[in-house]
Amino acid sequence: MNEEHMEVVMGLIMHGGNAKGYAYQAIQDAKAGNFDEADQKIELANQELKAAHDTQTGMLTQEAQGNHVEVDLYMVHGQDHLMNAITFKDLAVEIIELLRRLDEK
């Protein structure tokens, strides 16, 4: 595996992990009634997911141009991290909305 490939994989893992971490922090903020902070953490999660998505788009562009992108267990692991982070962030948004509605009552 070359260094560039490993950097791509680590970028997916890092940005995915950061996004999931911010989403988790957002839920904790919302549980404490700090909805502005929760919204800020969700925005940070979105920024991390965008960075990972940009990496993913780069790989798809390379593949579309005929430059095969190596798919190995590391890449699958990186993609797993990213997909889990996206799902977790989406659920965090829903949980925060429920907590916000309960707080308003």
Q: Which residues contact 60 (CB under 8 A, 6 or more apart)?
A: none
Residue carrying structure tokens 């970028």: 11
Task: Report whether pLDDT(97) > 90.
Answer: yes
Contact 77, 13 (CB under 8 A): yes
Q: Over the range 53-72, which residues count as b (16 or more CB within 10 Å of their CB) and which as e?
A: eebbeebeeeeeeeeeeeee
pLDDT band at residue 103 under the 50/70/90 scheme: very high
Q: Which of 5, 15, 68, 77 is catalytic?
A: 77
| Catalytic site includes residue 77 | yes
Domain spans of the chain, in order of start: 3-104
- Return the structure tokens found at 8: 């791509």
CATH number for the 3-104 domain, one of 3.40.50.11860, 1.20.58.80, 2.60.120.10, 3.90.1150.10? 1.20.58.80
What tens digit of pLDDT does each residue of 40-85 get? 999 999 999 999 999 888 888 988 999 888 889 999 999 999 999 9
CB count in 10 Å sphere of residue 104: 7
Residue 20's pLDDT band (cuts 50, 70, 90): very high
pTM of the full predicted structure?
0.90
Q: pLDDT tens digit string along 27-40?
A: 999 999 999 999 99
Give the pLDDT band (50/70/90) at residue 4.
confident
Task: Return d(Cα 47, Cα 37) in angstroms, integer.
Answer: 15
Nearest to 43 by CA among 75, 64, 18: 18
